[in-house]
Amino acid sequence: MDTSFPNISRRRFLQRCATLAAMTGLPLWFITQREAEAAETVPMPSPNDRPGIALVGCGGMGKGDAKNASRFGEIVAVCDVDRTHAEIAAKMFTVDGKVPKIYSDFRKVMADPDVHIVVNATPDHWHTLVNIAAARAKKDVYGEKPLTLTIDEGRRLVKIVHENGIVLQTGTQQRSDPRFRLACELVRNERIGKLVRANVWLPAGLRDGPFASSPVPDGLDWDFWQGQAPAFDYVKQRCHGTFRFWYDYSGGTMTDWGAHHNDIAYWAIGQLAPHEIEGTPLSQPIPGGYTTFADYKVKYTYADGVELNIATTQDDTIYGVHRNPKGQPNGIKFEGTNGWIWVNRDGISASDPSILTAPLPEDAIRLYESNNHMGNFFDCVRSRKLPICDVETGHRSATMCHLGAISMRTGKKLKWDAAMERFVGWHAHKANAYVSREMRKPYDYSFVG
Ligand SMILES: NC(=O)c1ccc[n+]([C@@H]2O[C@H](COP(=O)([O-])OP(=O)(O)OC[C@H]3O[C@@H](n4cnc5c(N)ncnc54)[C@H](O)[C@@H]3O)[C@@H](O)[C@H]2O)c1
């Protein structure tokens, strides 16, 4: 590999790689290759070439995503159905006295010619309509994970994104973390022999309730917030942050953390989808409380016999923070005929250190390389290439999570036809009813044209 860059000597290059290897725990061969390739990425835009960005959904993640995106463009607009959240974000992204425009209806954002890019960090039940509206307005999208609320939404979105030629990056940033890519490349290249199974541990969800309704807080448009979901009196726990523990708006930790770890298993296994799914809830929701299963296990079987076992762990908080250092952390373990690899956000390890340290041969299978998820998105905005987690990948990855949730909700072992994107065989009728949902009017597809 040529490491002779115009502005960095080879010695300094190797020193930098050695420091990075020591800091990250990644093998030196992998770092060297990564750094060399990174030098070939699309250069940063000039200060005069910074696109206008709108943040739609100004909650916890939205503000973080927008801060990240602001390295590549200007935050010119913020939009939220909660006025307080929008105002906080507008203040946060005011630069040199220039206050971003504030919107409450994202359709107006799409009509704003100053907006070139949309960062969509609404709750899951709003992802698809916001993304469709942006695609139709020819605005590129950084859209939070899980890409969709249902499998049917994903298929529709893929079509609309392709028809309109926009760039869409799904917010599954673990794909741009070299430790996860290394694990997937090693598995794909059979460094641990034939893959037998992948075991994924996700933080257990919240099991709580019953909850009482209360007056709608000032500034929140509760009807708009609920959108396509059935209408309820305002319940604080249904709204900001904890919406993810209600099937009306999300899918529990299966779609929340699963959108990250199941996605890595999907990347490493390299097959479109399992053909059999068997989900088992291990605790039941409390009536009047959160509706998603907090504790569960799901077994996926692939056509070639590879297994993917997903299980929850109570040893981590819902934020993935280890509360029991000796317990089971969230993460992914790949088991092959010749060893295993473990990977999570803390690091990567293997049954034998040489599994990680021996370089892969020149002709090894290589996966899409990105070392900065937001940066990759903006690179692709300029190059018009597919980002690392493009719409089809984001859709298939979300499908993995939806399949598990549907199996748990139906209480059945299910068969999936990945080409048709339908359940087949026994219980197909019951399961296919979960592939799409009835959307409450006016917040159905007609809401965005
Ligand atoms: N990639 C990651 O690691 C990561 C981490 C956390 C959250 N997320 C994802 O980000 C999304 C948001 O999660 P959060 O924790 O920030 O939630 P949050 O509840 O803190 O924020 C969501 C915001 O969206 C607003 N909103 C709701 N409907 C809207 C609409 N129609 N138009 C405009 N604004 C609307 C809400 O009022 C709220 O301010 C979720 O899909 C979640 O899965 C991703």
Q: What is the DSSP string of 268-286?
A: HH--S--SEEEEEESS-PP
Of ligand 1's atoms, which has the minimum distance to the CA of residue 129? Answer: 31
Q: How far is Cα 309 from Cα 332, in angstroms, rounded to an integer?
A: 10
- Give the residues of the chain that fall short of pLDDT 70: 1-14, 16-17, 19-20, 32-48
Q: 64: Cβ below 6 Å to ligand 1?
A: no
Neighbours of 151 (CB within 10 A): 23
Q: What's the gap in Å between 368 CA and the centre of ligand 1?
A: 27
**Tens of pLDDT, residues 310-327:** 999 999 999 999 999 899
pLDDT for position 163: 98
Strands of the sheet containing 307-313, edge to edge, are: 347-350, 339-344, 331-336, 195-203, 307-313, 296-301, 276-281, 413-417, 422-424
Of ligand 1's atoms, which has the minimum distance to the CA of residue 86? Answer: 39
- Report the nearest-CA residue for atom 39 of ligand 1: 59
Q: How far is Cα 123 from Cα 355, in angstroms, rounded to an integer?
A: 40
pLDDT for position 46: 57
Q: 144: Cβ below 6 Å to ligand 1?
A: yes
Q: What's the gap in Å between 246 CA and the centre of ligand 1?
A: 14
Q: 145: Cβ below 6 Å to ligand 1?
A: yes
Residue type, 1: M
Q: How far is Cα 49 from Cα 26, in angstroms, rounded to an integer?
A: 35
Q: How far is Cα 375 from Cα 227, in angstroms, rounded to an integer?
A: 31
Neighbours of 15 (CB within 10 A): 11
> How open is the CA angle 202-208-223, to the nearest 5 degrees?
95
Structure tokens at 365: 């299978």
Of ligand 1's atoms, which has the minimum distance to the CA of residue 122? Answer: 24
pLDDT for position 317: 96
Strand 140-143 versus strand 296-301 pairing type: unpaired
Q: 250: Cβ below 6 Å to ligand 1?
A: no
The enclosing H or E element of 222 equals helix 222-226
Residue type, 246: W
Q: What's the gap in Å between 433 CA and the centre of ligand 1?
A: 26
- Report the nearest-CA residue for atom 8 of ligand 1: 61
- Report the nearest-CA residue for atom 7 of ligand 1: 61
**Tens of pLDDT, residues 382-440:** 999 999 999 999 999 999 999 999 999 999 999 999 999 999 999 999 999 999 999 99
Of 55, 56, 58, 61, best ligand 1 pocket probe by most atoms within 8 Å of the beta carbon: 61
Q: 82: Cβ below 6 Å to ligand 1?
A: yes
pLDDT for position 27: 85
CA distances from 423 to 147, 177, 301, 410, 434 (A): 20, 33, 14, 12, 10
User: Does the predicted TM-score (pTM) go above 0.85?
Assistant: yes
Q: 248: Cβ below 6 Å to ligand 1?
A: no
Under 8 Å CB-to-CB from 11, ≥6 apart: which residues?
none
Give the N- to C-terminal CA distance of the chain in Å, as an integer. 50
- Report the nearest-CA residue for atom 28 of ligand 1: 225
Q: 246: Cβ below 6 Å to ligand 1?
A: no
Q: Is the dihedral of CA 347, 195, 252, 160 positive or negative?
A: positive
CA distances from 74 to 80, 399, 449 (A): 18, 33, 28
Structure tokens at 374: 């937001």
Supply φ then ψ for residue 438, to 5 degrees.
-70, 135
Q: 241: Cβ below 6 Å to ligand 1?
A: yes
